[in-house]
Amino acid sequence: MRRVVPFVVLIAVVAVFNGWLDQRFYVRVLTLSVVWALAGVAWNLMAKAGQISLGHSAFVGIGAYGFTILLRGGGTSPWTGMAIGMGVAAAVALVIGLPTFRLRGFYFTLATISFPLIMELLVSHYGDPELTVPFHPESEWKFMEFSNSHTYVWVGLGMLVVALAISELIDVTSFGFALRAIRDNEVLARAVGIRTVAWKSAAFMISAALSAAMAVLWVKAVLRVTVAEEVFGITVVIVMLSVAFVGGVGQTWGPVVGAAFLIPLAMFLDDSIGESVPGAQELVYAAALVLVALLIPRGILPAIEEGCRRLAAWPRPSLEHQGPGLLGRLAAPPPRPSPLLRMPRRPLRPKLPQPSGTPVLEVDGVAKSFGANRVLSDVAFRVDPGRRVGIIGPNGAGKTTLFNIVTAHLRADSGRILFKGMQMDRMRAPRRYELGMSRTFQVPQGFHLMSPLDNVVVAAIGASMPDPMAASMDMLERVGLAGKALGELSALTTAEIKSLELARAMVSEPDLLLLDEPLAGLNEAERARFFETVDELVAPHAAIVVIEHSVRSLIQYVESVVALDECRVIAQGPPEEVVSDPRVIEAYLGSRWMEHARDQ
């Protein structure tokens, strides 16, 4: 019910203004507010994944030119042209997204600037830089040629509601969880089975299609002429970005709030001082971005929500028996989206069978260098089903690098990684996770803008669990974090963060669990309890490989040890034999200590 209320409020507010306003200028302001809210919602889909695109005017131009050319050439209805333009824009987004999504952060943003520039140059030099939209008064709805300008507001409102519904639906499905995971921590998202390029490409295609649809309404209702410089121009992206950032970037309703605030302000300012101050609208957008960045960097909508939470938290002794008030209900977290999450995002993929006599993990001659720095050289060992293997070595021995190669976060220069007899060298991290390989990290990782429960839900989605929410909650109960499932990660202790990492790694029921320094920061009691919890969670056939500097705790748990030093395996075997090996002692304590020990 809570998700429906904003839609009701939006429709009611627009209906009131559309029925009340008579002057053409005011109707134009309302129309542009709806148009740019739609554009902001479209752009904001990419921001949900933490991707800042400066190239969305390319899709606006595709939509505008597409329907105009079809309308001029064969009298095709703008509705049909809109559908075709959306398809073309989505296809172009896929083509340009696949290579550019390999870039991250600032580099992706820079790369997107080139898209509209290229499109504008192509149209200007090889096409027509300006196309007049034909006038077809004979059929208002077929040709979107409404005699009453208020009708454009209703059409725009309908398109905006559809776009918002799509955005809301994304939020409460595995799609939205995947996008938020990518936004918070893309490396971790890949480690728990999220195919980051695929999800970002899907969001890019939907965003591009909605941008193309918005262009048709913009040209028909406002511009009446398709001009390459305008529809492909940087101003389009500036307005999209402005309404999203001012309202709340990444928030479904943020662009609506931003457009309701910015567009009327810019239009009224331009109407009053536009002749004496050219570019008054752009001045408003620039000033708004600066002020929001300085005063409320998360945007208006998150600031309002935070204010509601603070007001709701004020003590009201006389009203305690009445339950939470309006502010408390507004500040409450949204309902858990468990019904939709019960639908797996793709068919379950069976894990690899375990051939008899084949090790779960076999590392064969792995080598890795970073420039002239040799990190691993001819590393080889095997891990059989149900075995606990420890990896020890001084800092810089290459232990974590080895884990990163095993889980496809790095690629080896030479050698092979075999999982249940299958060579994994060309498989990416999400696929290895799906097949039954899971890990924790040396520096604890998390999706810090998500609750502990949602952190585990993302991993359950990556594993295509039939009911990710139930599986995640069950895992949190088993590690003792059920009471903090909906809290914040910043409120967790070190031991609880380690337990959360373990829950996230184990929700997929892996056949190989890789633990990278899991005892760091824990006291003796917490260390013992951690390994007890691991044994309670893993299946009897599952193998565990542990990197740990606390050798005393490690040798009490594992059945064999692999010792690394100076990028090579210097010893492997039963724990007692390895830790008493002179080469291992020298690697930890140094040659001078060994010489002193011999003298004594």
Tens digit of each residue's pLDDT (9 = 90 or more) over 502-534:
999 999 999 999 999 999 999 999 999 999 999
Residue numbers of the domain that contains 526: 361-599
Number of domains in the chain: 3
**pLDDT class for 287, splitting at 50, 70, 90?**
confident
Q: Is residue 342 part of a domain?
A: no
The mean pLDDT of the chain is 89
For the record, the structure tokens of 493 come out as 């202790």
Q: Is residue 466 part of a domain?
A: yes
**pLDDT class for 344, splitting at 50, 70, 90?**
very low
pLDDT at 321: 44
Q: Are residues 69 and 185 in the same domain?
A: yes
Q: Are residues 233 and 376 in the same domain?
A: no
**pLDDT class for 590, splitting at 50, 70, 90?**
low
**pLDDT class for 313, splitting at 50, 70, 90?**
low
Helix (H, G, I), strand (E, B) or coil at 479: coil
Q: Are residues 319 and 467 in the same domain?
A: no
Q: Are residues 320 and 401 in the same domain?
A: no
Q: Are residues 236 and 119 in the same domain?
A: yes
Residue 600 has pLDDT above 80, yes or no: no
- Identify which of 469, 371, 459, 364 has the alpha carbon closest to the alpha carbon of residue 417: 364
Residue 327 has pLDDT above 80, yes or no: no
Output the DSSP codes for 527-577. HHHHHHHHHHHS-TT-EEEEE-S-HHHHHTT-SEEEEEETTEEEEEESHHH
Q: Are residues 583 and 499 in the same domain?
A: yes
Q: Are residues 98 and 194 in the same domain?
A: yes
- Identify which of 252, 247, 244 has the alpha carbon closest to the alpha carbon of residue 168: 252
- From 335, 351, 380, the end of a domain falls on 335
Q: Are residues 319 and 402 in the same domain?
A: no
- From 243, 273, 289, the end of a domain falls on 243
- Listed in sequence order, the residues at least 6 apart from 223 whose beta carbon sits closer than 8 Å to its beta carbon are 133, 230, 231
Q: Is residue 296 part of a domain?
A: no
pLDDT (mean) for 265-277: 83
pLDDT in tens, 417-444: 999 999 998 899 999 999 999 999 999 9
More confident residue, 159 or 395: 159
Q: Is residue 310 part of a domain?
A: yes
Q: Are residues 229 and 318 in the same domain?
A: no
Q: Is residue 284 part of a domain?
A: no
pLDDT (mean) for 177-183: 94
Residue 348 has pLDDT above 80, yes or no: no
As beta bridge partners, residue 60 has none
pLDDT (mean) for 196-225: 95
Q: Is residue 541 part of a domain?
A: yes
Q: What are phi and psi of 186, to 5 degrees?
A: -65, -35
Q: Are residues 13 and 91 in the same domain?
A: yes
More confident residue, 271 or 547: 547
Residue 341 has pLDDT above 90, yes or no: no
Q: What are phi and psi of 129, to 5 degrees?
A: -70, -10
pLDDT in tens, 456-468: 999 999 998 888 9
What proportion of the chain, given as a percentage, has pLDDT over 90? Answer: 71
More confident residue, 289 or 162: 162
- From 196, 215, 243, the end of a domain falls on 243
Q: Is residue 262 part of a domain?
A: no
pLDDT at 289: 85
Question: In this predicted structure, which of 414-418, 466-470, 554-558 has the lowest mean pLDDT?
Answer: 466-470
- Identify which of 163, 133, 184, 175 has the alpha carbon closest to the alpha carbon of residue 36: 163
Q: Are residues 463 and 518 in the same domain?
A: yes
Q: Are residues 313 and 370 in the same domain?
A: no
